[in-house]
Amino acid sequence: MGRPSRKREPVPFDDPLAEQLAWLLDSSIGIGPYSIGLDGLVGLIPGLGDVLTDLMGMLIVVRAMKSGVHRSAVLRMVANLGIDTLFGVIPVVGDLFDFAYKANTKNIQIYRESLSGGREPLKDWGFVILVVVILLLLLILPLISLFLVVQWISSHFLSAAIALVNSA
Protein backbone atom coordinates (compact mmCIF):
# COMPACT_ATOMS: atom_id res chain seq x y z
CA MET A 1 0.00 0.00 0.00
CA GLY A 2 1.56 3.29 -1.10
CA ARG A 3 1.88 6.39 0.91
CA PRO A 4 -0.39 9.25 -0.19
CA SER A 5 1.34 12.03 -2.06
CA ARG A 6 2.01 15.12 0.03
CA LYS A 7 2.57 17.36 -3.00
CA ARG A 8 1.34 20.84 -2.24
CA GLU A 9 -0.48 23.12 -4.57
CA PRO A 10 1.68 26.02 -5.74
CA VAL A 11 0.98 29.26 -3.93
CA PRO A 12 2.02 32.64 -5.32
CA PHE A 13 4.82 34.27 -3.37
CA ASP A 14 3.64 37.49 -1.79
CA ASP A 15 5.73 38.59 1.16
CA PRO A 16 7.09 42.07 0.55
CA LEU A 17 8.21 42.43 4.18
CA ALA A 18 10.48 39.36 3.95
CA GLU A 19 11.84 40.52 0.58
CA GLN A 20 12.53 44.00 1.93
CA LEU A 21 14.25 42.61 5.01
CA ALA A 22 16.48 40.33 2.89
CA TRP A 23 17.38 43.27 0.65
CA LEU A 24 18.15 45.48 3.67
CA LEU A 25 20.35 42.84 5.31
CA ASP A 26 22.17 41.61 2.18
CA SER A 27 22.27 44.18 -0.61
CA SER A 28 20.90 47.60 0.31
CA ILE A 29 24.21 49.45 -0.14
CA GLY A 30 25.68 49.55 -3.62
CA ILE A 31 29.44 49.90 -3.95
CA GLY A 32 30.35 49.90 -7.63
CA PRO A 33 29.35 46.56 -9.14
CA TYR A 34 28.92 45.02 -5.68
CA SER A 35 26.28 45.37 -3.04
CA ILE A 36 26.45 44.83 0.67
CA GLY A 37 23.86 45.09 3.38
CA LEU A 38 23.50 45.74 7.06
CA ASP A 39 24.42 42.12 7.80
CA GLY A 40 28.03 42.76 6.87
CA LEU A 41 28.20 46.17 8.52
CA VAL A 42 26.51 45.25 11.80
CA GLY A 43 28.54 42.03 11.75
CA LEU A 44 31.63 44.19 12.31
CA ILE A 45 30.50 44.64 15.93
CA PRO A 46 32.45 41.88 17.71
CA GLY A 47 30.33 39.08 19.14
CA LEU A 48 26.98 40.84 19.01
CA GLY A 49 26.69 41.94 15.37
CA ASP A 50 26.29 38.54 13.73
CA VAL A 51 23.82 37.37 16.34
CA LEU A 52 21.66 40.50 15.91
CA THR A 53 21.50 40.26 12.12
CA ASP A 54 20.76 36.55 12.22
CA LEU A 55 17.93 37.17 14.68
CA MET A 56 16.56 39.65 12.13
CA GLY A 57 17.04 37.02 9.42
CA MET A 58 15.02 34.55 11.49
CA LEU A 59 11.99 36.74 10.83
CA ILE A 60 12.15 35.57 7.20
CA VAL A 61 12.26 31.94 8.37
CA VAL A 62 9.30 32.46 10.73
CA ARG A 63 7.26 34.08 7.95
CA ALA A 64 8.13 31.17 5.64
CA MET A 65 6.95 28.71 8.29
CA LYS A 66 3.66 30.60 8.68
CA SER A 67 3.20 30.50 4.91
CA GLY A 68 3.44 26.71 4.89
CA VAL A 69 6.96 26.20 3.54
CA HIS A 70 8.04 22.55 3.80
CA ARG A 71 10.00 21.59 6.95
CA SER A 72 13.08 20.58 4.99
CA ALA A 73 13.17 24.02 3.34
CA VAL A 74 12.81 25.69 6.75
CA LEU A 75 15.70 23.60 8.11
CA ARG A 76 17.77 24.60 5.07
CA MET A 77 17.00 28.25 5.76
CA VAL A 78 18.03 27.85 9.41
CA ALA A 79 21.23 26.11 8.25
CA ASN A 80 21.99 29.09 5.99
CA LEU A 81 21.68 31.42 8.98
CA GLY A 82 23.79 29.04 11.06
CA ILE A 83 26.54 29.03 8.43
CA ASP A 84 26.36 32.83 8.30
CA THR A 85 26.74 33.05 12.08
CA LEU A 86 29.37 30.32 12.42
CA PHE A 87 31.74 31.83 9.88
CA GLY A 88 30.75 35.42 10.60
CA VAL A 89 32.11 35.35 14.15
CA ILE A 90 35.66 34.60 12.95
CA PRO A 91 37.61 37.87 13.19
CA VAL A 92 38.44 39.57 9.85
CA VAL A 93 37.82 36.51 7.64
CA GLY A 94 34.31 36.22 9.05
CA ASP A 95 33.62 39.87 8.30
CA LEU A 96 34.63 39.33 4.67
CA PHE A 97 32.49 36.18 4.60
CA ASP A 98 29.53 38.19 5.94
CA PHE A 99 29.74 40.59 3.02
CA ALA A 100 29.90 37.78 0.45
CA TYR A 101 27.54 35.11 1.84
CA LYS A 102 24.02 36.42 1.42
CA ALA A 103 22.06 34.02 3.65
CA ASN A 104 18.87 36.09 3.63
CA THR A 105 18.81 36.34 -0.16
CA LYS A 106 19.30 32.57 -0.35
CA ASN A 107 16.47 32.13 2.15
CA ILE A 108 14.10 34.30 0.12
CA GLN A 109 14.89 32.16 -2.92
CA ILE A 110 14.16 28.97 -0.94
CA TYR A 111 10.95 30.55 0.41
CA ARG A 112 9.80 31.57 -3.08
CA GLU A 113 10.69 28.24 -4.72
CA SER A 114 9.05 26.24 -1.95
CA LEU A 115 5.76 28.10 -2.23
CA SER A 116 5.71 27.93 -6.03
CA GLY A 117 6.24 24.16 -5.98
CA GLY A 118 9.58 24.43 -7.79
CA ARG A 119 11.64 23.12 -4.87
CA GLU A 120 12.20 19.45 -4.13
CA PRO A 121 12.11 18.72 -0.37
CA LEU A 122 14.50 15.79 -0.92
CA LYS A 123 17.20 18.23 -2.06
CA ASP A 124 16.79 20.22 1.16
CA TRP A 125 16.80 17.09 3.32
CA GLY A 126 20.05 16.06 1.62
CA PHE A 127 21.62 19.40 2.51
CA VAL A 128 20.37 19.23 6.10
CA ILE A 129 21.78 15.70 6.49
CA LEU A 130 25.12 16.85 5.05
CA VAL A 131 25.27 19.73 7.56
CA VAL A 132 24.46 17.37 10.46
CA VAL A 133 27.15 14.90 9.35
CA ILE A 134 29.74 17.69 9.07
CA LEU A 135 28.81 19.01 12.52
CA LEU A 136 29.07 15.53 14.01
CA LEU A 137 32.50 15.07 12.42
CA LEU A 138 33.59 18.43 13.79
CA LEU A 139 32.53 17.21 17.21
CA ILE A 140 33.89 13.65 16.99
CA LEU A 141 37.28 14.26 15.33
CA PRO A 142 38.69 16.44 18.14
CA LEU A 143 37.51 13.89 20.71
CA ILE A 144 39.23 11.05 18.83
CA SER A 145 42.38 13.17 18.50
CA LEU A 146 42.34 13.94 22.21
CA PHE A 147 41.96 10.24 23.04
CA LEU A 148 44.89 9.32 20.76
CA VAL A 149 47.12 12.04 22.23
CA VAL A 150 46.33 10.95 25.80
CA GLN A 151 46.95 7.32 24.85
CA TRP A 152 50.30 8.21 23.22
CA ILE A 153 51.42 10.32 26.20
CA SER A 154 50.42 7.67 28.72
CA SER A 155 52.21 4.90 26.82
CA HIS A 156 55.41 6.97 26.64
CA PHE A 157 55.27 7.84 30.33
CA LEU A 158 54.55 4.23 31.20
CA SER A 159 57.51 2.93 29.18
CA ALA A 160 59.75 5.63 30.71
CA ALA A 161 58.58 4.67 34.21
CA ILE A 162 59.27 0.96 33.53
CA ALA A 163 62.73 1.80 32.20
CA LEU A 164 63.42 3.88 35.30
CA VAL A 165 62.29 1.07 37.62
CA ASN A 166 64.36 -1.52 35.74
CA SER A 167 67.50 0.65 35.89
CA ALA A 168 67.23 1.12 39.64
Give the separation between CA 51 and CA 39, rounded to whole angstroms.
10
The whole-number pLDDT of residue 4 equals: 47
Give the separation between CA 110 and CA 69, rounded to whole angstroms.
9
What does the pLDDT look like over 138-158, one tens digit per residue? Answer: 788 888 888 888 888 887 777
- Does residue 29 contact residue 42 with C-beta atoms inside 8 Å? no
What does the pLDDT look like over 6-18, one tens digit per residue? Answer: 566 777 778 899 9
Angle between helices 121-167 and 71-88 (to 10 degrees): 50
- The residue length of the chain stands at 168
The whole-number pLDDT of residue 145 equals: 85
- Does residue 121 contact residue 16 with C-beta atoms inside 8 Å? no
User: Which residues have CB under 8 Å from 9's CB, separation 6+?
Assistant: 117
User: Which residues have CB under 8 Å from 159's CB, separation 6+?
Assistant: none
Q: What DSSP state is assigned to residue 29?
A: E
Which DSSP helix (H) or strand (E) runs through 30?
strand 29-31
What is the pTM (predicted TM-score) of this model?
0.71
Those residues of the chain that have pLDDT short of 70 are 1-8, 168
